[in-house]
Amino acid sequence: MIASAAVSIDRLRDDLRVYIRARYPALWLTTDEEDRCGRMLASLAGELRRPLLSWTCTTGFDDARFVLDRPPTTRNPGDPLPASSFRTPEKALQYVIDHPEKGIYALHDLHPYLEDPTIVRKLRDAIHHARRSFKTLLLVSPVAKLPDELAREVTVLDVPPPDERELGALLRSFMDSLRSAGRVVIDDDPTLFERMVHAARGLTETQAIQAFSRAAVSDLRFGVDDLPLILDEKKQVVRRTGALEFFEHDESLASVGGVDGLKHWLTARARAFGDRAREYGLPQPRGVLLLGVQGCGKSLTAKAIAAHWRLPLLRLDLGGVFSPYVGGSEANMRKALSVAEGLAPVVLWIDEVEKGFSGTTGSGNADAGASLRVFSTFLTWMQERKRPVFVVATANRIAELPPELLRKGRFDEIFFVDLPTDEERRAIFAIHLRKRRRDPARFDLDAVTAATEGFNGAEVELCLVSAMYAAFAAGREVETADVVRAAEETVPLSTTMAEDIAGLRRWASTRARSAAG
């Protein structure tokens, strides 16, 4: 059973309290923060007056934390072996079964051993015993790799990264230690504390401390100039997921030609992520699906949205989600989405989403089962997410899109991006001239617009690039005639894929909103 990710460590603690009191026999906590998780479990065990015993394959069980409020006793000759001697998973699980204490047994990093059918069977035995004897098994590891035999017996909970309250306490303690040491100068900027906490969102405790320490020792100052160093640490977090990419973006909506209707829609929501919008009664924007002809600027628009709203841009590579291990693909997807939520507010870009979920259509693909589970995980997250993650998905082929993705409520709006009109092609050509340090006034824009009838935005740009290559080879400046000649030599996509584009337009005419306005 998969439970939705908790939004804070306090919420997770409350959920665990309920699960333990309700006598759930096995819970799986996915986390990279053993120490933070351990402190939370020790506090919860003390509150519930339940003994907590922690196991790893290197130390066995931790005797020192087994009986509350009582130190471990000295072992006499002839006494049973201490808990620390049970280092193999099979012996550890047998120890859980045999031990009379109705406690909480935290087993760390058991997942690599679950490829052994003997260990899987032993764990099932321990779960069945725990159900009868009011014990609780907690499986703690960075990933949740559940064999099919255990999928219905174990409840999976994600340990969330520190929220702003926790990060604030961490930063306050760090700054106090800097003041005590007296070797680092702390800026007196009144916005420093709030901006540092905001910048550190999505980092673990260890990562946040490392980032703060790096900022302090780099120049023996700690101030707003160190914010880029915190961002560097967040980029490392994103890279380590394997499925997310932190995208640098310097585009703006002004660099996107046409799509005035979409631009107006985005501008109206530019301030919708703030608290004032919540007080006004507005929900957080959820996302848009950009459907349309290839080369018409859908990916460019995704980058421009993040730049316009001044939000980080993450690209989700669906191909990087899939894993050869059972349950690994879903775990990778949950991990990537958890990281995105931790960095919120953020724009999450999924390019050509229909290709990433192509295995969900039941076409006989070998990975259809994994694709369906990953798709289900993604849909559930889209419906239930609480943090401001704005999803921008792009698609070229409507027939390959799973119908569940198009259901109302998944996205705020579905926009159809058609081939650019005459006026839009004129604007696109002018934009690319300025990018290449050319004055549009020197060109006959009417002639270029007429020559590029039926061209998409990418093809308009390619005509200019081809013309510049020809002019450069001839040792002269590019002219309008060079562009027109390049256009005459180009067969546009609207010709080679005329039937597909016509079908796309028919579908979008009644089911999508025109991006042109």
- Say how many CA atoms lie within 13 Å of 148 toward its Cβ: 4
At how many degrees (to 10) do helices 298-309 and 260-268 cross? 30
**Measured between alpha carbons, how far is 374 from 465 in angstroms, rounded to an integer?**
41
Distances from the Cα of 279 to the Cα of 274, 282, 359, angstroms: 9, 7, 42
For residue 216, pLDDT over 80 is answered with: yes
For residue 6, pLDDT over 50 is answered with: no
What is the percent of the chain with per-residue pLDDT over 70, rounded to a whole number?
91
pLDDT at position 175 is 94
What is the percent of the chain with per-residue pLDDT over 90, rounded to a whole number?
44
Cβ contacts of 27 within 8 Å, gap of 6 or more: 16, 19, 136, 137, 138, 139, 154, 155, 156, 157
pLDDT at position 403 is 84
pTM value surpassing 0.95: no
The strand pairing partners of 247, in sequence order, are 313
| Averaged confidence pLDDT in the chain | 86
Confirm if 205 and 163 have CB atoms less than 8 A apart.
no
User: Stretch 334-348: mean pLDDT, rounded?
Assistant: 86
79: region left, alpha or beta (phi > 0 left; psi from -120 to 50 alpha): beta
Q: Give the confidence band of 37 by pLDDT, cuts at 50, 70, 90.
A: very high
CATH classification (class only), 9-158: alpha beta
CATH ID of 164-240, from 1.10.3470, 1.10.8, 2.40.10, 1.20.1070? 1.10.8
Helix, coil or strand: residue 227: helix
- pLDDT tens digits for range 413-470: 999 999 999 999 999 999 999 999 999 999 999 999 999 999 999 999 999 999 999 9
pLDDT at position 8 is 79
Same fold, 9-158 and 247-417: yes
pLDDT at position 65 is 42
Helix, coil or strand: residue 160: coil
User: Stretch 483-507: mean pLDDT, rounded?
Assistant: 92
- pLDDT tens digits for range 240-267: 777 888 887 667 777 788 788 999 999 9
Per the model's pLDDT, the better-predicted residue between 241 and 499 turns out to be 499
Given strand 244-247, what is the order of strands in its sheet?
244-247, 313-316, 346-350, 389-395, 287-292, 413-417, 513-514
Q: What is the DSSP string of 409-429?
A: TTBSEEEEE----HHHHHHHH
Q: Which of 242, 259, 163, 241 is nearest to 202 (CA)?
A: 163
pLDDT at position 70 is 42
Q: Which of 474, 463, 396, 411 is nearest to 436 (CA)?
A: 463
67 burial type by CB count under 10 A (0-12 exposed, 13-18 middle, 19+ buried):
middle
pLDDT at position 2 is 37
Count of positions (residues) in the chain: 517
Domain ranges, ordered by start, for the chain: 9-158, 164-240, 247-417, 422-496
**Measured between alpha carbons, how far is 257 from 427 in angstroms, rounded to an integer?**
6
pLDDT at position 327 is 67
pLDDT at position 79 is 44
Distances from the Cα of 182 to the Cα of 138, 186, 187, 222, 374, angstroms: 43, 10, 13, 12, 51
Q: In angstroms, how far apart are the furthest CA atoms of the chain?
A: 99
Dihedral of CA atoms 380, 386, 392, 397 in degrees, nearest 10, equals 10
- pLDDT tens digits for range 276-325: 888 899 888 999 999 988 888 888 888 888 888 888 899 998 888 877 76
**Measured between alpha carbons, how far is 271 from 280 in angstroms, rounded to an integer?**
12
Confirm if 322 and 329 have CB atoms less than 8 A apart.
yes
pLDDT at position 302 is 87
Per the model's pLDDT, the better-predicted residue between 15 and 228 turns out to be 15
pLDDT at position 82 is 56
Q: Which of 411, 302, 305, 391 is nearest to 344 (CA)?
A: 391
User: Stretch 126-140: mean pLDDT, rounded?
Assistant: 93
Output the six-digit token pair for 173: 């303690």
For the CA atoms of the chain, what is the radius of gyration? Answer: 28
CATH ID of 422-496, from 1.20.1440.120, 1.10.10.10, 1.10.8.60, 1.10.3720.10? 1.10.8.60
87-111 b/e with 16+ CB inside 10 Å = b?
A: eebeebbbbbeebeeebbbbbbbbb
For residue 363, pLDDT over 50 is answered with: no
- pLDDT tens digits for range 134-158: 899 999 998 878 888 888 899 988 8
**Measured between alpha carbons, how far is 135 from 127 in angstroms, rounded to an integer?**
9
**Measured between alpha carbons, how far is 205 from 32 in angstroms, rounded to an integer?**
10
pLDDT at position 274 is 78
Helix, coil or strand: residue 194: helix
pLDDT at position 64 is 37
At how many degrees (to 10) do helices 164-181 and 192-200 cross? 130
User: Stretch 169-186: mean pLDDT, rounded?
Assistant: 93
Superfamily of domain 247-417: P-loop containing nucleotide triphosphate hydrolases (3.40.50.300)
Cβ contacts of 461 within 8 Å, gap of 6 or more: 428, 432
pLDDT at position 232 is 84
